[in-house]
Amino acid sequence: MLEVKHLDAFYGAVQVLHDVNLFVGAGEIVGLVGANAAGKSSLMFTLAGLRTTHQGDVLLEGVAIDKVPAYERPARGLVLVPERRRLFPFMTVLENLEIGAYAAAARTVARQTLNEVFALLPVLADRRKQVAGSMSGGEQQMLAIGRALMAKPRVLLLDEPTEGLAPIYVKLLFDLVIDLRAKGLTVLIVEQNVHHVLHTADRAYVLENGRIVMEGQGKTLLNDERLKTAYLGL
């Protein structure tokens, strides 16, 4: 579904990713873990087409998308829910969701998608008139995911979705991710919450200093002593 080949990425002259290769199969949940500043968010932004310059290939269903402008990638089926949610704080919940369906194809079915999103995330239906910035962190995260779902993505990139959330929302969120996979979505998820993500993910990659250093089944990695000691300091 999503394939990354020999990806180098740069902020100006500084290289932040080195020869990253990864693969996310259709209907898989793939985790990406690593210490702070390992390059997880840089990878996510590079996949979404923002911030970095890059060499190498990003393929979505076999089609190269790395030259496609960031704002056309949602229409191709790839949507990033960025770190710290990045909602439109002065707009209502409903308006945030409407913006999610900006691409022409998504807009024509927006009404129907909206009902699906409300069914999946009932809290948003109750709060539809509320200004996004005034909601709790957990509700905001649900809105950020709902907003991304409005674009009808096939691949969803989640960057640190549980950051700053109450434990109840962390559980809710991982349940939601499993739900989304059941609905046919492919998910690449970056997490600090290693334990949770390795339990949930089918496979995972470990990123260190901009390089992929380990990969494998989530649960296998969880028991790997090298991961615990060297990369995550657990």
Residues of the shown chain interacting with another protein in the complex, contacts defined by CB under 8 A: 48-50, 69-75, 79-80, 82, 86-91, 95, 98-100, 102-103, 106-107, 131, 147-148, 151
CB 148 within 8 A of CB 79: yes
Three-state secondary structure call for residue 99:
helix
Q: Cα separation of 39 and 32, whole Å?
A: 10
Enter the DSSP assignment of 38.
Answer: S
- CB closer to another protein, 156 vs 212: 156
Closest CA to 146 of 200, 197, 77, 98: 98
Length of the chain: 234
- CB closer to another protein, 80 vs 198: 80
Q: How far is the CB of 151 from another protein (least distance, A)?
A: 6
Q: How far is the CB of 218 from another protein (least distance, A)?
A: 26
Token readout for 80 is 């990033």
Token readout for 58 is 């990003």
- CB closer to another protein, 94 vs 120: 94
Q: How far is the CB of 74 from another protein (least distance, A)?
A: 4
- CB closer to another protein, 22 vs 48: 48
